[in-house]
Amino acid sequence: MRKNFTRREALVTAAGLAAGIAAIRPAKAAGYPERPVKIIVPFAPGGPTDLMARVMAGYLSERTNGSFVVENKAGAGGNIGCGFVAHAEPDGYTLLVHSSALVVNPGLYKKVPYDIFKDFSPLVELGTSPNVFFTNPTTGIKTMADLVARAKADPKALSYASAGIGTTPHLSGELLKLKAGIQMTHVPYGGGGPGMQAVLQNTTPIGCVSLPPTLPFIKGGQLIALGVTGKTRWPELPNVPTMIELGFPGFVTDTVQAFMAPAKTPQAVVDLVVKTSIEILHDPKIAKQLYDDGFEVLANGPAGMQKRIDDEVPMWRDLIAKSGIEPI
Amino acid sequence: MEGSFAGLAHGFDVALAWHNLIWCFVGVVVGNMVGVLPGMGVLSTISILLPLTFSMQPVAALLMLSGIYYGAQYGGAICSILLNLPCHPPHAVTCLDGYPMTKQGRGGVALGITMLAAIIGAAFGIGQMMVLAPYIASIAFKFGPQEICALMLLGLLAGSTLAKGSPIKGISMTLFGILLSLAGTDINTGNERFTFGYAELSDGFELVAISLGLFGIAEFLKSVNSVSLAGVKNVRLGFRDLRPSRADLRQGLPPILRGTVIGSLCSLIPGTGPTIASFIAYAMEKKISRTPERFGYGAIEGVASPEASTHSAVQGDFIPTMSLGIPGDAVMALLLGALMIHGIQPGPRLIIEQPDIFWGLIASFWIGNIILVVLNVPLIGIWVKLLMVPYRYLYPTALFFVCIGVFATRNEMFDVAATLGFGAFGYLLLQLGFEPAPILLGFVLGPRLEENFRRALLLSRGSMETFIDRPISAVFIGISVLLLAAQVYAAVRKMRAPVKLPEEAFD
């Protein structure tokens, strides 16, 4: 062996070694991810969708030895970020974590900048949170039957606060009005927190928001839960019935967190992200953390996500039309 | 009270543990730098750093992220005062008198009084958090849509004359600001208004784009055109005296105390953060001043009061977030998100169930603010020397950072274009003798007025009486009426007395 080992030779050797190591590693979508992967969240930082995306990005980076970065592209109820991903290069380096607005907005807006059935390749149905109907204890309403009776006695008596126009809590309220045949005035707030606060301070007697942030108040007795909109009862509120149990068959309106990629993303990339994500969600420690943050883990692959899209887009469109909500 | 001190003692145990102390230090230093850089926002910084905190202990993570938020306020005033660049919306109003002070060579004094305002405001805000946190619910819950609407009305009426010059011009600028704020999605119907087909406008204009455009860029355009760089020459005069004199302190202290109280009150009202607090503080300071004509020409009160108000509101902002689990703004929502990622549930039981977090945070506020003052006071001299960098290097560099910062707020080029557009428009306004400050006031208060007005009417089913039926709201409406009546009375008296009005000459 020669004594003088030049810098260039060292580099070549290093490159060769690196290539060798790469070749030994299990085939993972031809080296994906080679550069940072952007996960677009179409809302401002801090909300549930953002939280879910950041948890996923953290563990995906860890388990793929890559870098998954959350980028917030907020605006137009999620349409801007969603449209951005729909038309992004389908190379696996731009992904989307969206909420139920993905399936609601095509029925709510006159025009959305994406075709929900053609522009996306669904990855994973990550998790879901039910909504909850609740009331302030001073109203004297203790059950859903009380609410319906009160509204029937005086159609102008009740108003309900929601997380905003076109959110699943708003639409849950409208669905309740249709199914129970009652009247309530909708008072939209700019998010679940302010909506819940409106009921806490008795500005509106009824509220409907996503369940997780209301838990401490329901347990503490500052709010009375009337019914949850999930398929089953929420484990921490075993005494609160579901809407189905309350006599409204088919009343399931949850807020889902969806992991999507642009259509025509290479199958190998899709498979890798789906497989890794489902492994992450099935990790008991992570599932517990997500549950504590208010998400019920679903971990359904592309087929499950596609089914939700196929079922819910027409369902929400139909509800919006029936409840007379003006398309935006 | 006793419980508070026991809690605080425990908090210091937590916050002084070396790993927490280091992260608190890192947070405030990063925050301070972010504050100084034009346009770099707190929100984007925290969301960039959030992933780093996943592997940290939750207490350390929270102390660091919070440190960025209040640390940025220390840096935020610097560019406002020295360069007329309001990088952080709460400090926009500081430009009004801070920059004239710089032009008079008193920039160092302005920064010095800012430090004093900061520490007094912050100390009051933290003290309030220690004592009031358990009772916050009952105070915050008294403010429904009627009360907030009435308060915003009062703020707009009091503030529309906050700029120097003719009141009519001020009011028209306020109305223009309200008009600008209408662009975007209407929260009550979900409809888009005045977006002219631009999807980027669906959430309205970015406040930081408007304020940087109207103040920073407009000022830049104005100075570039004037050949004499008078400002720079005058600044050199000021180096002799960087510290506020005894007279400055005497003049500045009462406004600091008043601003502090306003800031802490605002922080208790849901959704009324530091930006609104600083505008209301400035407007009120001018209203009660015996010499309102000095405002806008370097009145030290015009720096002291809004700065104190900002700092006390920033600390107070944590109260509803920590004691109710209801975030007041996006920064607070992100901090709660950081807690949730660590499996800690925000809510009314946080103080009892997580004393380490709550009291550790409060103790870290004390420590962090002291670190910030110790860091910043010696730096004042260096910041002022920044102005000696030739204008042709200084401003283009600042503009570069402005563009990056504005872009980073939402990752939208549209906002950069909007900033430049508002800059050109602001230049036009300055040439025509319109002061841009009330535009910001209208832009900040207008949406809250409209949203709550419509919500109140929705709840009262159209009856306007709802605003005078409720005591707090009735008081605000009453003060508004008095204010209007006083204005009209003064105007009528002026019209009757055929005296030449000296201040008209300034227009």
Distance between CA atoms of residues A272 and A281, nearest Å: 14
Model confidence at A142, in pLDDT bands (50, 70, 90)?
very high
Model confidence at A183, in pLDDT bands (50, 70, 90)?
very high
| Residue A40: strand pairing partners | A71, A96
Answer yes or no: are the C-beta atoms of A250 and A230 closer than 8 Å: no
Distance between CA atoms of residues B64 and B30, nearest Å: 9
Q: Which of B270, B350, B372 is nearest to B28 (CA)?
A: B372
Element (H, E) at B45: helix B42-49
pLDDT value of position B505: 41
Asked whether the beta carbons of residue A293 and residue B343 sit closer than 8 angstroms, the reply is yes
Distance between CA atoms of residues B262 and B122, nearest Å: 13
pLDDT value of position A26: 40
Same fold across A34-128+256-322 and A130-228: yes
pLDDT value of position B421: 94
pLDDT value of position B1: 54
Model confidence at A184, in pLDDT bands (50, 70, 90)?
very high
A164 CA: distance to closest CA in chain B (Å): 7
Instruction: Give the list of residues 6+ apart from residue B352 with CB closer than 8 angstroms, or none.
Output: none
Phi, psi at B465, each rounded to 5°: -60, -20
Distance between CA atoms of residues A216 and A209, nearest Å: 14
pLDDT value of position A284: 92
Q: Which of A54, A63, A199, A292 to mutate to test the interface with B (most CBs of B within 10 A)?
A: A54
Distance between CA atoms of residues A192 and A188, nearest Å: 10
Answer yes or no: are the C-beta atoms of B77 and B93 closer than 8 Å: no
The three-class DSSP label of residue A98 is strand
Q: What CATH code is assigned to A34-128+256-322?
A: 3.40.190.150
pLDDT at A137 over 60: yes
How do A120-135 and A206-210 pair as beta strands?
Answer: antiparallel
Which member of A187, A197, A328 has the closest CB to residue B455? A187
Model confidence at A12, in pLDDT bands (50, 70, 90)?
very low
pLDDT value of position A206: 94
Distance between CA atoms of residues B179 and B158, nearest Å: 18
Q: Which of B454, B430, B409 is nearest to B203 (CA)?
A: B409
Distance between CA atoms of residues B350 and B381, nearest Å: 42
What residue of A is the nearest CA neighbor of B184? Answer: A76
A240-265: buried (b, 16+ CB within 10 Å) or exposed (e) per residue?
Answer: bbbbbebebeebbbbbbbbbbbbeeb
pLDDT value of position A13: 46
pLDDT value of position A74: 79
pLDDT value of position A223: 92
Asked whether the beta carbons of residue B145 and residue A203 sit closer than 8 angstroms, the reply is yes
Write out chain A residues lying below 8 Å of B346, CB-based: 213
Which member of A73, A166, A292 has the closest CB to residue B343? A292
pLDDT value of position A151: 92
Q: Which of A226, A177, A217, A175 is nearest to A196 (CA)?
A: A217
Amino acid at B189: T
Which member of B188, B337, B349 has the closest CB to residue A216? B349
Instruction: Classify residue A19 by burial, with Cβ atoms within 10 Å: 0-12, 13-18, 19+.
Output: exposed
Q: Which of A184, A289, A293 to mutate to test the interface with B (most CBs of B within 10 A)?
A: A293
* For chain B, domain boundaries: 2-506
* For chain A, domain boundaries: 34-128+256-322, 130-228
The three-class DSSP label of residue A188 is strand
Phi, psi at A296, each rounded to 5°: -90, 120
A267 CA: distance to closest CA in chain B (Å): 28
Mean pLDDT of B476-487: 87
pLDDT value of position A20: 42
Mean pLDDT of A154-167: 89
DSSP structure string for B281-295: HHHHHHHH-S-GGGT
A16-71 per-position pLDDT tens digit: 444 444 444 443 456 788 888 999 998 877 778 888 898 899 899 888 888 898 88
The three-class DSSP label of residue B274 is helix
Distance between CA atoms of residues A94 and A121, nearest Å: 12
A268-312 per-position pLDDT tens digit: 999 999 999 999 999 998 898 888 888 889 888 899 899 999 999
Distance between CA atoms of residues A98 and B36, nearest Å: 34
pLDDT value of position B504: 45
pLDDT value of position B225: 65
CATH superfamily to which A130-228 belongs: Periplasmic binding protein-like II (3.40.190.10)
Mean pLDDT of A187-215: 88
Question: How big is the A-B interface in CB pairs under 8 Å?
Answer: 140
Place of tokens 């890798």: A272
Look over chain A and give the mean of its residue pLDDT values, rounded to a whole number.
Answer: 85
The pLDDT > 70 percentage for chain A reads: 91
Angle separating helix axes B230-238 and B94-103, nearest 10 degrees: 80
| Residue A121: strand pairing partners | A261
How far is CA B41 from its chain centroid? 13
Phi, psi at B478, each rounded to 5°: -60, -45
Which member of B143, B200, B461 has the closest CB to residue A75? B200
Quote the tokens at residue B49: 């750093």
Element (H, E) at A161: strand A159-162
Model confidence at A225, in pLDDT bands (50, 70, 90)?
very high
Asked whether the beta carbons of residue B345 and residue A292 sit closer than 8 angstroms, the reply is yes
List C-alpha distances in Å: B38 to A227, B75, B311, B379, B399: 49, 10, 19, 17, 8
Mean pLDDT of A216-236: 91
Mean pLDDT of B199-222: 85
Model confidence at B490, in pLDDT bands (50, 70, 90)?
confident
Of A3-7, B7-11, B303-307, least confident by mean pLDDT is A3-7
Mean pLDDT of B378-387: 80
Look over chain B and give the mean of its residue pLDDT values, rounded to a whole number.
Answer: 83
